[in-house]
Amino acid sequence: MTTNSEWLQRYSDSVLGVFGTPPIVLDHGDGCYVWDVDGRRYLDLVGGIAVNALGHGHPALVAAVSKQVAEAVHISNLFTSPGQIRLAERLLEVAGAPDGSRVFFGNSGAEAMEAAIKLARRTCRTGIVAAEHAFHGRTTGALALTHKAAYREPFEPLLPGVVHVPYDDVEALREAVDETTSAVVLEPVQGEAGVIAPSIDFLQQAREITTAAGALLIIDEIQTGIGRTGRWFGFQHAGIVPDAITIAKGLGGGVPIGAMITFGPEVSRLLTAGQHGTTFGGNPLAAAAGLAVLDTIEQDGLLAHAQRMGRHLAETVDAAHIPHVTGVRGQGLLRAIVFDAPISAGVAVAARNAGVIINPVAPEAIRLAPPLVIQAEQLDDFVAALPDFVKEATSA
């Protein structure tokens, strides 16, 4: 049997090194657990970075994808399929989109953002306002909206006209938006920045500011959407209607898919025939996966479950009074445990060595985005072991 270390050598010899060398080679999963090629089990509290909404090997997703593979995997967008149409209808329904709204299907979050940028350009304005510490993707258009200098600088000059303002700063946003602004692009929770949730009225104020200026409000739901925060989409906590949202990650439950929803007829008419396209977007396989995920979340009450489990995690961590842990932030099952020192990388290594996968998203925070089917007992096992992970990280 080929060992983990042997696989990783082959990885280094064959795969472009943009991700560095991964620590382990995963072989299969079941529910909220995954196993590496050496047969070791891990509790998966990252969920493919908020992708595996139903966990691993969920019967509904397996059945839907298996059935679709036997019928048609791909047909191209020269045609459509019943599944693509049904998925578009379901997305409009769960988003609460008004009549005249539409869906564009792509293959990833970055591709959804590229569609949103082109949508904004169709306003005949060129300015875009994004937030400091935002992450919107790695393709060159989405990268222009992403704030981190290390991601941006090797590829400059990027798309011009993008400015970044402090997140959750209403006055800074108001000052930045004017008659040249095509769109304001915001995450309802900044996941890659360390799971930063804004004040309750930030998105409401952003809606008012963009409406007054005649600019679009585009909400990046790539990480926060599909039940991750305990609602179908993060913007729904604020009770607003955006002009467009971008979706990916959890929608396919692991099958690659992205989407942009335009809200209302006026915005939906901005992109017309021939102005955008994709070969694979919304193909029958991805559509079948998306429908299975949405149906399962609804039938199994996973929105409410995500809210309960998120609260349970935060309350359990707080009650444990773990040294160096200062709190838990986030919404639903998108959470960060925050430390008083830059120990997150060490905590993540200690956890992985003990069979738990977490993400050191920032030097002083670990991110948890487990499958929406996670149970309280599994979260309790993690919290019970967390003091040991912290102790190992701080004593190294």
Residue 337 known to bind ligand: no
Is-cis flag, bond preceding 166, omega within 30? no
Residue 260: which of 249, 244, 276 has the closest Cα?
244
Pair 189, 229: CB distance under 8 Å: yes
Q: Quick one: tokens of 320? A: 């444990």
* Greatest pairwise CA separation for the chain in angstroms: 64
Q: How many angstroms separate the CA atoms of 73 and 284, rounded? A: 6
Residue 140 known to bind ligand: no
Checking DSSP bridges between strand 162-165 and strand 127-131, what pairing results, if any?
A: parallel
Residue 110 known to bind ligand: yes
Residue type, 385: A
* Residue count (the chain): 396
Residue 47 known to bind ligand: no
DSSP state of 278: -
Q: Quick one: tokens of 298? A: 């609804």
Checking DSSP bridges between strand 216-220 and strand 181-186, what pairing results, if any?
A: parallel
Residue 104 known to bind ligand: no
Pair 297, 307: CB distance under 8 Å: no
Residue with tokens 């991805």: 286
| Strand partners for 3 | none
CB neighbours of 47 closer than 8 A, spacing ≥ 6?
53, 55, 369, 370, 371
Residue 223 known to bind ligand: yes
Residue with tokens 């004593």: 395
Residue 202 known to bind ligand: no
Residue 222 known to bind ligand: yes
Rg (CA), the chain: 21
Residues of each annotated binding site for pyridoxal 5'-phosphate: 109-110, 135, 220-223, 279
Residues flagged as binding site: 109-110, 135, 138, 220-223, 278-279
Binding-site residues for N(2)-acetyl-L-ornithine sit at 138, 278
